[in-house]
Amino acid sequence: MSSAAAAAAFQFLTRSLLRLHRPLCGVSNSVYGLHFPALQLHTTKSTMQFSQEDFEKAKDQLKHLKGDPGNEVKLKLYALFKQATQGPCNTPKPSMLDFVNKAKWDAWQLLGTLTQDSARQKYIELVSSLVSSESSQMQETPPGSKPGYETLEVSTKDNITKIVLNRPKVKNAVNQKMYSEIIEALEEAAKDDSVITVLTGNGDYYSSGNDLNNFVNLPAGGLEEIVENAAKQLKDFVNHFIDFPKPLIAVVNGPAVGIVVTVLGLFDIIYATNRATFHTPFISLGQSPEGCSSYTFPKIMGVSKATEMLLFNKKLTAAEACSQGLVTEVFPDHSFQKEVWTRLKAYASLPRNSLVISKQLIRGIEKEKLHEVNSQECECLKERWLSDECMNAITSFFQKKSKL
């Protein structure tokens, strides 16, 4: 599964998990990184004591957090809240097929006989750490960043517009907001005075793929409406990469999964650290390729190598991706940023209009074909998301995860 659209098929499994704890809007995860991590809660003694008033204050603070702390933290918060208000887990174990409630039950059960006072204290401490972390991150916003973006850092310096995927706590998983903001950032970059545009990630990951929170609320039209809207968003998102007029460069700073991989065929240059990996496991979840990868990947890598990746879920190392033509060059991780940005600054000193015209000569001849491919892929995905095969594949996936 891939784009914002891909999450549509997961809606029926994720809705109640997205309500793990009322002050939290949802549980986020990457489509390809779907997992409910083993809860690791350290119950060391603390000398601090907290009142019921502190507990109520923590609940209120949690409602106002802007960032998404990720699945594991949300499960901890849910479990601690239940333990603090109801005591040890006393509800029957849900069925193995009830994936949502099973994840919640496991998180609560792992707290064992932790007292309500201790659970309340740990809940307050965890919320406090989240608030402090978010405050520090807001203060560390790089100078020159353009305002108005929640999931990205966008800045222009040295003739380079830099778009940074900025949700490191959830491995830069692409949620609905990020999809719309990437579209907006590309539209702005296409019109500004910069010479080149660069897309990269903040933290250890380039991006872990699509975020499951994309479809929190089931609309009146049900799954069919979700699928239709998701396909429209995906088509628009990919079209912005097809039509981007300036040199577009990906600086892949870590593992990349799903939609961020499939659109790489629409970039002009891809530089990667040797830590990076490239994964597009569509078929295992009953999906089909998108991002024009069904056309660009065979053209770049050859049909056999593209088939191995797109049909049989082969994860490529950076070296393999480079040898097959997907990646332009691979750099040692310790010198990656320095070497790449030195090179990019040199590129940005070249004549702007000459680069735009030259890119048009190279890329323009295929634009019509790429738009056609994008439309066909989106239509195919709509059928896939509504198929029994897709639903069965997703159910099987969650069954395997629940046993880990």
Residue 311 DSSP symbol: T
Decide: helix, strand or coil at residue 283.
helix
CA distance 4 to 2: 7
Distance CA 16, CA 217 (A): 10
Return the percentage of the chain with pLDDT > 70, whole number. Answer: 77
pLDDT at 135: 65
**Orientation of helix 223-242 relative to helix 176-191, angle to 10°:** 20
Task: List the one residue out of 88, 61, 69 whose CA is nearest residue 20.
Answer: 69
The residue to which tokens 């209120």 are assigned: 60
Q: How much is the pLDDT for 192?
A: 96
Q: How many helices (H) and strands (E) does the chain have?
A: 15, 9
pLDDT-based confidence at residue 146 (cuts at 50, 70, 90)? confident
Residue pair 36/75 in contact (Cβ under 8 Å)? The answer is yes
Beta strands 256-257 and 196-201 are: unpaired
Q: Which of 265, 269, 252, 134 is nearest to 201 (CA)?
A: 252
Confidence of residue 311 (pLDDT cuts 50, 70, 90): very high
| 189/13: higher pLDDT | 189
Q: How far apart are CA 96 and CA 131, in angstroms?
A: 35
Structural domains of the chain sorted by starting position, each given as residue range(s) with its CATH number in brackets: 34-139 (1.20.80.10), 152-402 (3.90.226.10)
The distance from CA 97 to its chain's CA centroid, rounded to whole angstroms, is 26
Q: What is the CA radius of gyration of the chain?
A: 22
What are the phi and psi torsion angles at 211 (to 5°)?
A: -90, 130
Lowest mean per-residue pLDDT among 27-31, 61-65, 119-123: 27-31
Q: How far is it, in rounded angstroms, from Cα 339 to Cα 343?
A: 6
pLDDT of residue 95: 72
Check residue 74 and give its pLDDT. Answer: 81
Q: How many CB atoms lie within 10 A of CB 31?
A: 27
Average pLDDT for residues 124-142, to the nearest whole number? 71
8 compared with 271, residue with greater pLDDT: 271
Identify the bridge partners of residue 155 per DSSP, sorted by sequence position. Answer: 145, 162
**How many Å apart are CA 117 and CA 234, to the nearest integer?**
47
Q: Round the average pLDDT of the chain to a whole number and report it.
A: 83
Distance, CA of 153 to CA of 149 (rounded, Å): 7
DSSP symbol at 30: B
DSSP letters of 213-230?
A: GGG-S--TTTHHHHHHHH
Query: Cα separation of 101 and 96, whole Å?
Result: 9
Nearest in space to 205 (alpha carbons), one of 238, 241, 168: 168
Q: Report pLDDT digits (tens) over 232-241.
A: 999 999 999 9
Number of residues that this document lists for the chain:
404
Q: Which phi and psi (to 5°) does residue 288 adopt?
A: -140, 160
Q: How confident is the model at residue 403 (pLDDT cuts 50, 70, 90)?
A: low
In the predicted model, is pLDDT for residue 71 greater than 90?
no
